[in-house]
Amino acid sequence: MAEEKIKKVSIVVSKGSLEGIYPGLIMANGARMEGMEANLFFTFFGLEAVLKNKMDKIKVATVGNPAMHLPSLLGIIPGMSAFATSKMKKEMEKLDIPPVGEFIEMIHDAGAKLYACKATVEMFHLTKDDFCGQVEAIIPVGKFYEVSAGGQIIFT
């Protein structure tokens, strides 16, 4: 019996840190490279990835991040987040992983659709003008489910 291949993925990006945003972008890019339909739904702090004035200023979360292998108290030291962010960005450059803004553009140009969560947009008092041009629309959750119908939903 042949395995059924995934044809469509919808990825929810809800975290606004570098390590919270990149998994969704990498998965969407990989899906497009494999010929799958890919939708990205940005909600809560994940909206930072598609906000024009924030997308290129995303940082690593150093407080409360067990993967940092640092006591949380060290994470609050001024400059710690900037240091960790700089180090991670250098490692990502070595792997030819583009900065968030460039990656968003690349994924969009490859055919992925990007959406912002209507409830979160309203809660944060944002408008369509606050977002980068790659955001297709601001949609409610019900519309996201319609867009996602027949595919896999992945929460990052």
Which domains are assigned to the chain?
A: 8-62+99-155 (3.40.1260.10)
Asked whether 19 and 66 are in contact (CB, 8 A), the reply is no
Both structure tokens of 153:
């939903």
Asked whether 134 and 114 are in contact (CB, 8 A), the reply is yes
The pLDDT value given to residue 138: 98
Helical H segments across 1-156, by residue range: 18-33, 72-75, 80-94, 100-109, 118-123, 141-148
The pLDDT value given to residue 1: 56
pLDDT tens-digit series, residues 89-137:
898 899 999 999 999 999 999 999 999 999 999 999 999 999 999 999 9
Both structure tokens of 29:
């890019």
> Could you tell me the pTM of the whole model?
0.89
The pLDDT value given to residue 137: 97
Residues 75-79 have a mean pLDDT of: 76
Both structure tokens of 100:
């968030």
The pLDDT value given to residue 73: 67
The pLDDT value given to residue 88: 84
> Would the pLDDT of 35 be above 70?
yes
